[in-house]
Amino acid sequence: MAEKVAVIQMVSSKDTEANLAQAGELIAQAASQGARLAVMPENFALIESGQIRALAEEELLHGRLSNWLAAQAKAYGIWLVAGSTPALLRPDGSKIEDGRVRSRLLVVDDGGAVAASYDKRHLFDVDVGDALSSYRESERFEPGEDVVVVDSPVGKLGLSICYDLRFPAHYQRLRDLGAEILLVPAAFTKVTGEAHWEVLLRARAIENQCYCLGAGQGGVHSPKRETWGHSMIIDPWGKVLGCHEWGEGVVVADVNLDKVKQLRADMPVWQHRRDSWR
């Protein structure tokens, strides 16, 4: 049986209220098209990193983002994936005291409860040939450790964030844990996205015989920050079912887990692996 899912593309700014208003409109669009699950991009609520710790403090004290997500999910009867939110507390409850935060994906069910969370494991410490030039996420973020799969009405969701996409072992572990749909909220730069975004998404889908939902930022955020966009939904054969190239927007497509099961039966690559670490 097919279920509709959505990826939401945004052009977030340093204005959290404006970002939430933009996200709310796009969630409404996704729900109106019948989506049972909608994935928002990385940094959906704030893309200005200088304010990220302050937003994390506000979230810890008042639940600003989690309360907003719960209200949206309940209002539209939809599962929401918050591509990343800043978190001060580790999963064990200890507080990060060195000025950094964790980049945390939240999966919120249609009743407004947090069904799962995932802290970004791979941090983007690279030099890129764009106006910003250098990215050092480890200066602002502490990496997570856990690999997370969660049940949902549309299938088993394997969680990741942005730069994780370049590490195939992460997704192989998600498949080992039962993932049927890989979620990749992101804010790929224009330079790296143009070169690698689609090919990496399609590779992860094909390698793991999973649907892949890539929800990106897609536009000009400041004179030095531009993201690639091209949010897309990909089937387990690597076919792009829908893509929104630029600016804010929504892509909705059907996910059919019978296709996943049939493909895995016809081409049982997981049984053919000869990796010594398994």
SS (H, E, C) 24-66: HHHHHHHHHCCCCEEECCCCCCCCCHHHHHHHHHHHHHHCHHH
120 is catalytic: yes
Reported as a pLDDT band with limits 50, 70 and 90, residue 275 is confident
- Say how far apart CA 35 and CA 154 lie, in whole Å: 10
243 is catalytic: no
**pLDDT greater than 80 at residue 48:** no
**pLDDT greater than 60 at residue 278:** no
pLDDT of 11: 98
Catalytic-labelled residue, pool 59, 120, 156, 226: 120
State how beta strands 102-108 and 149-152 pair: unpaired
User: Which tokens is 22 given?
Assistant: 């933009």
pLDDT tens for residues 110-125?
999 999 999 999 999 9
**pLDDT greater than 80 at residue 129:** yes
pLDDT of 276: 63
Mean of the per-residue pLDDT values of the chain = 96
Kindly state the percentage of the chain with pLDDT values over 90. 94
162 is catalytic: yes
Catalytic-labelled residue, pool 137, 156, 162, 243: 162
Buried b / exposed e across 91-115, counting CB within 10 Å, b at 16+? eeeeebeeebbbbbbbbbbbebeeb
Question: Do the Cβ atoms of 224 and 132 come closer than 8 Å?
Answer: yes
**pLDDT greater than 80 at residue 3:** yes
Residue keyed to tokens 């309940």:
74
- Of the candidates 198, 253, 224, 222, the residue with the CA atom closest to the CA atom of residue 11: 222
Instruction: Say if domain 2-272 classifies as CATH 3.60.110.10.
Output: yes
**pLDDT greater than 90 at residue 245:** yes
Q: How much is the pTM?
A: 0.97
Calculate mean pLDDT across residues 23-42. Answer: 98
Question: Do the Cβ atoms of 112 and 73 come closer than 8 Å?
Answer: yes
Calculate mean pLDDT across residues 146-164. Answer: 98
**pLDDT greater than 80 at residue 241:** yes
Which of 46-60, 79-93, 232-246 bottoms out in mean pLDDT, i.e. has the lowest? 46-60
- Say how far apart CA 170 and CA 81 lie, in whole Å: 19
Catalytic-labelled residue, pool 42, 137, 142, 180: 42
Q: So where are the chain's domains?
A: 2-272
State how beta strands 102-108 and 240-244 pair: unpaired
- Say how far apart CA 84 and CA 183 lie, in whole Å: 12
